[in-house]
Structure 1
Amino acid sequence: MLLLVLAAGGWFGWQAWQARAQQEHDIEAQAAQRIDALEQHLATLQQEQRTQAGRLQRADATNRVLREELLGVGQRAALLEDSVSELADPQRSGAQALRLDELELVLGLARQRLLLAADLDGARRGYALAAGLLDGIHDPAWLSLKQTLAQERSALDDLGADPRAIAAGRLQAFAASLPPLPVTVAARDDAAQPWWRRAFARVIDVRHADTAVAIEPGDRAAGLAALQLELTLAQAAAERRDRDGYRQALARADGWTTRLWPDTPQRRERRERLRELRALPLAVDLPTLGTTLDQLRAMRASSR
């Protein structure tokens, strides 16, 4: 009985151990299956993560392109808005812009005619044409420009004749007044002369040795030709508005007057006229020249 009990107990114990071992084996198998399933799931998650990362990169690139396109669209919209605002601005109308361009061109030409050629009449006609163009602009913003143009035209009208023409006319009149000058000083009364001078007056011509006046016909002809040449050179320098050449020629002409005529009131009067001629201006002096053009350019630049 004891042996049977022991045998039965051993058999039941072995059965229980076998069942427990089988149960543990099943648990390990199930755990291995779960681990495999988890690894497969993890691999799937990693693949999906890589896929999602790629999608995010592509989406980021697409967003960057869209952002750049949006910025470009915004810039084009801003340019279109500026263009529309310029077209809607009355100061930017096509006719007015064309008139302002023409006004600037006319003012520039009138200024250059006065500076380069000293053409007062041409400059005045140009400013009159500019005034007519400016009167066609009825915008009150250009009222100050009209006032500036009126002041510049008034200053231009106050200049009178061309200084070069005045100098040339006075120089020509001076050249025409030279021949009547006396060649010798008027002789003294014979009664007041010493007896020996009165006795030999018809035989001997007495002159001071230090006199500079040319008496011989050949010397006088050469001197008169040189004087006329210097006056012609002064006339040419005045036409060129060469102030230095003009003054130098008149200075040499003054030297020839002392060589050709004696010291008389007439010669002193001619030398004084020469000094006045040397002081005459040849160029036009207008400090306000070009103020209208400068103001027009400044106003157009500020309105852009």
Structure 2
Amino acid sequence: MASRSIFLQLHVFLILALATTAFSKTLSPYYYEKVCPKALPTIKRIVEAAVYEERRMGASLLRLHFHDCFVQGCDASILLDPTPTIDSEKNAFPNINSIRGFEVIDKIKNKVDKICGRPLVSCADILAIAARDSVVALGGPTWKVPLGRRDSTTASRELANGDLPSPFMDLPALIDNFKRQGLDKRDLVALSGGHTLGFSQCRFFRDRIYNGTNINSRFAKELRNTCPPEGGDSNLAPLDPTPVCFDTAYFSYLIKEKGLLVSDQALFSGGSTDGLVKTYSYNPRVFSADFANSMIKMGNIQVLTGKQGQIRKNCRKVNY
């Protein structure tokens, strides 16, 4: 009888723990600790393997989280495929033929659901964790990711076109864009430092290397070999000289007028963010700390919690 009583108590505790986790209205780094303790280590292993196989994937997974959060909040709307009722954000101008890493997220979702025994970890949380683990895998800082987001049942290509910061924006436009998301100038510069990782397509920097006035002439000339005046839109160039290493070279390049995108160089153009760029360029500890803090702040944008949204079974599709 005693053993049966203990079993019943444990059963009731587990049910209560699952219910609390499923409908919590606040994010917590320990959200899955009791209900699926193997979830986060599993995500980390898959991300590390993906980045090891293709170093560029780290930047791609970081960008997925960023592009998700800036459009109707951190709700995994970026992952939804187009349907008669879903105008997919994948087809927005900043994303089409550019955003990538979806197969890695699919692999994570499938593996985690099997380990947890059911769809328990949201796609939005997977994006947030994968972004952190990608940065760590490439030598960057770590941070405790607040968890408990739920997934949206909608997406908006129109919002993606309007809300994602453009690579052609000047500093006032960038400041305003980030402010609308509840992010300040320090967040703007720190998060832009994510461009210490990854590459950009020719179509996003062509005008700058041929017509820009605040660009190092030798740097522009070198890039013209990669990006001709016409054609080669998808040709890639690194956003900084060490595109698979999390460091401060991105900021050092801005000081030398070697920012690849207009929106990169705008951060060091005689404006109010010049001081931060200089600080980050010679103080990697400050940059890493600010980047981690701003990632946490960004990850809290308009999150769905409690009974809002859903936990998708397939990150590309809404549950029906």
Q: Give the structure with the higher percent helix.
A: 1
Q: If the TM-score is normalised by the length of the shorter chain, which range does it land in? A: under 0.3
Of structures 1 and 2, the larger Rg is shown by: 1
- RCO higher in 1 or 2 (8 Å CA, sep ≥ 6)? 2
TM-score under structure 1 length normalisation: 0.20
